[in-house]
Chain A
């Protein structure tokens, strides 16, 4: 089925590209905050998949919609805890580059 001339695969291609761009960023970046941004990209790409599958394949249900809502809530919780950790790390090491953070215990 196509909707307004766009098949389901169009959405899947976008979310796959976004997911692996996020993976690339996670592997290349050394700053904790930019790594967190890559994780947000990955989570967001998964949400596109949920909503597109719900809309194209199971239009009589709303499971995909609720899954995406719950993923957004978990992403918010994860970001707030991660940022609290990053601020604490900055206070101890005066840096948020992963290479400077090599001690686990004081």
Chain B
């Protein structure tokens, strides 16, 4: 049992336990904080895989941005000391059946499949390579999706302002 294995199992357990708590917690602010823990453990998994930039983006954008946005809107729209009523048991059983059967199907499919592992030498996953490929128009370049995503973000920003501003 190496330290790497222990770290992996720790992150895995945190992700699954806090995901379950996110969807079952009866206080909305607690659900948001559990979601924050899930996102931070996911960033831990990216660090484990040696994807530092991805982990940094995960921490800054998800854990820092989206969770703050969600907590902000919770404070605007909900009474935080109010507890949700427990959903009806038949609804819970139906949803759990749907989720568990889907999960069983997926597990069955990919545990039977043998993945062909890449044998090529790994590319160095540092900022230089990421920056060069993200803005390159050559083979393996990602300039077009980069520009499209910037237009999408601008459109989403304008849309959010227009929707949320007080009418007339």
Contacts and interface: CB of A to CB of B under 8 A. Distances in A.
Interface in B19-55: 19-20, 22-24, 28, 31-32, 35, 38-39, 42, 45-46, 49-51, 53-54
A10 B91 CA distance: 31
Give the contact-size bracket for chain B: 35 or more
Given A16-B103, A62-B133, A75-B66, A80 B156 contact: yes
B152 A74 contact: yes
12 contacts: A14-B12, A22-B23, A28-B23, A40-B35, A40-B62, A51-B49, A51-B54, A61-B140, A62-B130, A76-B153, A83-B70, A87-B77
Nearest to B50: A55
A27 interface: yes
Contacts, number: 226
Interface of B: 2, 4-5, 8, 12, 15-16, 19-20, 22-24, 28, 31-32, 35, 38-39, 42, 45-46, 49-51, 53-54, 57-58, 61-62, 65-66, 69-70, 72-74, 76-78, 84, 87, 91-92, 94-96, 98-100, 102-103, 106-107, 110-111, 115-118, 120-123, 125, 129-130, 133-134, 140, 142, 145, 149, 152-153, 155-157, 159-161, 163-164, 166
